[in-house]
Amino acid sequence: MSDKPIRMTIKLRKFLGHYLKHGNATAACKHAYNPTNDNSAAVHGHYLVRKLKIQINDMLDAQGATDEAIAKVYADGMNAVKPEFERSEDGVFEAIGESPDHKVRIKAADSASKIKQHLSNDILLDLTEPLKVQIEGKYVPAKSGGAR
């Protein structure tokens, strides 16, 4: 992929807007391009996401969604608390403390794990070349027929 800017057509903008809102490349491709079938939409959607990846990251960084800012939001969500109230005798609610907000914490943890999984999917192994194992400073070709 090259780092040069991509000419944003109307359909590509429509795809990007739908993808950023919903996070589903296949659905975004169906929305913007009207492909002939689901397979075509999945393949073309994946291609467009990879093509736009650099620009999406640059846009998010420019909007303040840096890696550090996102990590802070998730950390805040995973430590969320909610106030606890008690009704006094005169009928007024008074704050008496805080308790963990499990609903928010679970949602933050779920989102963080999905992002982590998405990022780990970007690490691809090239299994077309023989694997090499380093033993005591020497590279030794791995035996074929191993893990696939």
pLDDT tens per residue across span 35-47: 989 999 999 998 8
Q: Residue 49 has what pLDDT?
A: 84
Tell which wins on pLDDT, 117 or 47.
47
Say if residue 67's pLDDT is above 80. no
pTM: 0.41
Q: What value, to the nearest 5°, has the Cα angle with vertex 119 and ends 148 and 129?
A: 30
Longest dimension (CA), the chain: 80
Q: What is the SS3 string spanning 123-147?
A: CCCCCCCCCEEEECCEEEECCCCCC
Q: Residue 57 has what pLDDT?
A: 67
Do 31 and 14 meet the contact criterion of CB atoms below 8 Å apart?
Answer: yes
State how far the Cα of 105 lies from the Cα of 109, in Å rounded to an integer. 6
User: Mean pLDDT, to the nearest integer, of 36-61?
Assistant: 81
Closest CA relative to residue 116, chosen from 80, 85, 70, 79:
70
- Average pLDDT, rounded, for the chain: 75
